[in-house]
Structure 1
């Protein structure tokens, strides 16, 4: 049989109809009736429980994982609205999938990493190729999670981790994670992929510095308290929109922080790793990022550059081609919400997606979503990203 994969999408506003339509299209492309694994990304206008129930019914109760996103991505289609769902179905005698989920991860990223690893470790095998991870983008802290997860897994070479943080159309209210029949918030879902698959991937952000080097002088975990001896918000104020106090989502979308890429990750990657600031504390003048920092860390104020983003997607496309004639079994695409409709017109988004996908036949199953944070390895070290595209092709 090999690997039979299909992707379908729907923008129908009825959750049951949308789930059924997307699943049916995926099964038709895969030419199967009963898949082994189902991957789902959807936006939050739907009744999430009805949506997932309809997909479970259409796919015969196969293993299902996924999360909500600010938008969905398939071949030739990127939908950023309250109503969009995409489904990938896979039937394979070459690739095996095992899954786990952890709930209530807020404030306990280290413990969650250990719990997830304890569950997944017995399911790994010598041919386990990667872990897919989808976590709540409003509460997830990557660094303590990863440290605990990799330590507990105890592998000589870390297992590559790909994925994205669940999103909710900029409401910053609740994101959703999916595991079989369950729909929940504040948690994470992981999928082990094992078998005779090979993975090629690319990571690119396309951001440039707009100011001189700054230094974090006081911080606590993922909270930046002072920059250059001043409250962080005060130090950033000259770069923020005039209405930043009342419209932080808009201001933080137009401003990001760059940290020097660690030496062990610099081969073949850009000079900076990018961080988004999803939260702030007005009274204390603090800003919050999604990974941890230490006093003395240098940073740069960054902005997106459309030309660099376009060139970066072209570079990703070339990195995905393992051999000139090779065709992936499927492609996974995790794109930052900060590279979507808030920056690009629909025609520009479509052109960017086309520039990335044109190296591959139109029938390559391609699925992804717009995230609150992207996960993908740099130089074989797992890394968290913002304002970035992470694309992985499975052969």
Structure 2
């Protein structure tokens, strides 16, 4: 049998009908009568409990993992409406799939990372080839979580981690994680894939530094209070109109972020900067929240999207993945994409970029993707948290 895989999507508003349409399409594409794992990405408008119960019934209780996103992606398909979902199904006798989760993440990201690492250690072997992670983005300090997670994983080899922070429709209020028949928040859900597969992956963004180097002068954990001894909110107004700062979660965050100088080893294979978004701005304190820790003294540049870089970078990314595949055909592809790029580009621009990203495969392949609030993927053998990026992982 080897591995059978298929993907499908729907933008029907009725959750039962949408789940059935996407699942049936995926199963037909896979040429399978049953599956071992269902991956589900959905936008925020559905009754998600109904989606999960419908998929559980259709799949005879197959394992399930996923989350909500600002938008969903499939092969030659993008949809950011409140009612859209994408499904991938896999049946395999050469792969095993294990899912688990950790809750109450906001109470302590380091504790949550440690617990999840310990929980999945029994699933880890020398053949474990990837881990997918989907957290509640509002709960996360990614540095604390990922460090504790990997330190407690008990893995003897590098395991590439792919994933994204679950999202909503730019309200930054409610975002959900899915595991089996549970709809969760303030959690991290996890899929462990073990077996005889390889992965070709790449990461790119379309950002440029603007202005002179600046310095974080006051911070606590992942809250930045001052840059160059000035309130963060005051500094932001140098770069974007005051009304955009006032509506930061809808306008400013889509265009402006922070750039940390990347280590030399990373610059050679990725970029000069590691991108950090600031999803929350608090006018009462003049502060901004990032998803990792920025200590006082950290040197930064303000970073802006440059849409003109996106298309050539997508083409280069496809070429890099094609070289890694070396003629092999992917069995399935995971795409983790920044929610912001979905909102700053027209539909035709997004599809042009998507076509470039998918150009490394000559025929349609099972493909599932998510527009999310933060991305995770490896660079040069080390797992990183990213912002404003697109990550492609082709499993072959």
TM-score by length of 1: 0.97
Separation in 1, partners of 2:193, 2:241: 43
1:215 aligned residue: 215
1:245 Cα deviation from its structure 2 partner = 4.8
- Whether 1:386 and 2:387 are equivalent positions in the alignment is yes
1:131 aligned residue: 131
1:85 aligned residue: 85
Question: How do 1:102-117 and structure 2 match up within 5 A?
Answer: 102-117=102-117
2:235 aligned residue: 235
Aligned-partner SS, 1:38? strand
Separation in 1, partners of 2:217, 2:265: 24
Separation in 2, partners of 1:344, 1:252: 14
1:252 Cα deviation from its structure 2 partner = 2.0
1:204 aligned residue: 204
- Whether 1:272 and 2:279 are equivalent positions in the alignment is no
Separation in 2, partners of 1:163, 1:79: 19
1:194 aligned residue: 194
Query: Does structure 2 retain, via aligned residues, the 8 Å contact 1:22–1:87?
Result: yes
2:48 aligned residue: 48
Question: How do 1:119-198 and structure 2 match up within 5 A?
Answer: 119-198=119-198
Aligned-partner SS, 1:118? helix
1:376 Cα deviation from its structure 2 partner = 0.4
1:94 aligned residue: 94
1:30 aligned residue: 30
Q: Which moved more, 1:148-157 or 1:7-16?
A: 148-157
Structure 2 gap segments, 5+ residues each = none
1:319 Cα deviation from its structure 2 partner = 2.1
1:158 Cα deviation from its structure 2 partner = 3.7
Query: Does structure 1 retain, via aligned residues, the 8 Å contact 2:96–2:194?
Result: yes
Q: Which moved more, 1:97-106 or 1:256-265?
A: 256-265
Separation in 2, partners of 1:283, 1:9: 42
Q: Which moved more, 1:262-271 or 1:375-384?
A: 262-271
Separation in 2, partners of 1:252, 1:364: 33
- Pairwise CA RMSD of aligned residues? 1.2
1:348 aligned residue: 349
Aligned-partner SS, 2:201? strand
Query: Does structure 2 retain, via aligned residues, the 8 Å contact 1:213–1:298?
Result: yes
1:292 aligned residue: 293
Structure 1 gap segments, 5+ residues each = none
Query: Does structure 2 retain, via aligned residues, the 8 Å contact 1:70–1:371?
Result: yes
1:156 Cα deviation from its structure 2 partner = 4.2
Residues paired across the two proteins, number = 394
- Once the two structures are superposed, residues 154-191 of structure 1 have per-residue CA deviations (whole angstroms, 9 ceiling, x without a partner) of 33444211010100111211101110011111111011
1:334 aligned residue: 336
Separation in 1, partners of 2:86, 2:328: 25
Separation in 1, partners of 2:274, 2:222: 15
Aligned-partner SS, 2:138? coil
1:263 Cα deviation from its structure 2 partner = 3.0
1:304 aligned residue: 305
1:130 Cα deviation from its structure 2 partner = 1.2
Query: Does structure 1 retain, via aligned residues, the 8 Å contact 2:336–2:370?
Result: yes
Q: Which moved more, 1:73-82 or 1:257-266?
A: 257-266
Query: Does structure 1 retain, via aligned residues, the 8 Å contact 2:5–2:88?
Result: yes
Aligned-partner SS, 2:318? helix
